[in-house]
Structure 1
Amino acid sequence: MQARYASLMIALLLPAFAFAAQVYEWKDASGKMHYSDRPPPGVDAKPTGMTTGKRSAPSSAPSAPLSVAPKSSQPPETPEQAQEREAQEEQSRQRAEVEQERAKTCESATRQLKMLESGQRAQTIGPNGEPVVLDDSGRQQAIQRAREVVMKTCQVPN
């Protein structure tokens, strides 16, 4: 079964290779480099060694040349620069994770504080894992703790 698919893929791709055309390069009067599979007549065009995906029929009219984007003026990145860039990206990722966790904690503490201040019946988990209803004193302590968490986590650091 796999051999049949492999032979089918080869049969489908084989015609594409037969139509490949040579790519030529040349400079125009202003010194700009151009690339095309059909150089204009009267121009010293040199083959690049690259091919296109489709061979064109020879023509006396030149095809629209491709312009080359200017090369970057920055030198290539050194291994040290790459390592420094990766370290900065890792620090940014870690800061984003910390910020996301801070925002989650702020949101949770804010919801808890609103619930406690609303006067709704509130429970907590006791030392043995059983639910314990908060009395007024326990509610005030929980409100104070929630306010402290909100103060710490909901302020955006500079």
Structure 2
Amino acid sequence: MRSTVAASLLLFALSPWVMAGQIYKWVDSQGVTHFDARPPNGVEATAVEGVKPATPPEPISNEAVMKASGEAEQRRIDRKVKSQVADETSRRNEFCTGVRTNLAQLKNNPRVLQQVNGEVRRLTEQERQAKIEEVRKVIDEQCT
């Protein structure tokens, strides 16, 4: 099996040189230019110079395939991480907007109501100032 594969690969690799031959150019009676490997009988043909056989492509190594698939996997992971970071940033921005709104309400409204155990009561000035400090700490820790 291996010898068959090796022989096939060798024949495939050598095929451009086997197929490469001289190319001839001629013009027929209607003025059409032709190119062929054999000139026709009775027509003056010129050999085309500078025609080189095609070089066989470089074989793709297993390492190149692994590197390419590894790079594709890395790009997929990068996109996933960037998406997660963007989602987290969006959630943090929403949270910080809400906290800043709460701080503004606490600072601008001296009569803050709070619901505790089903009953609504008004915060004292000391409690309101303590809440303002709590909210400022949260903003300093999580929103800067």
Structure 2-normalised TM-score? 0.49
Q: Which protein is richer in helix relative to its size? A: 2
Query: TM-score by structure 1 length?
Result: 0.45
Larger radius of gyration: 2
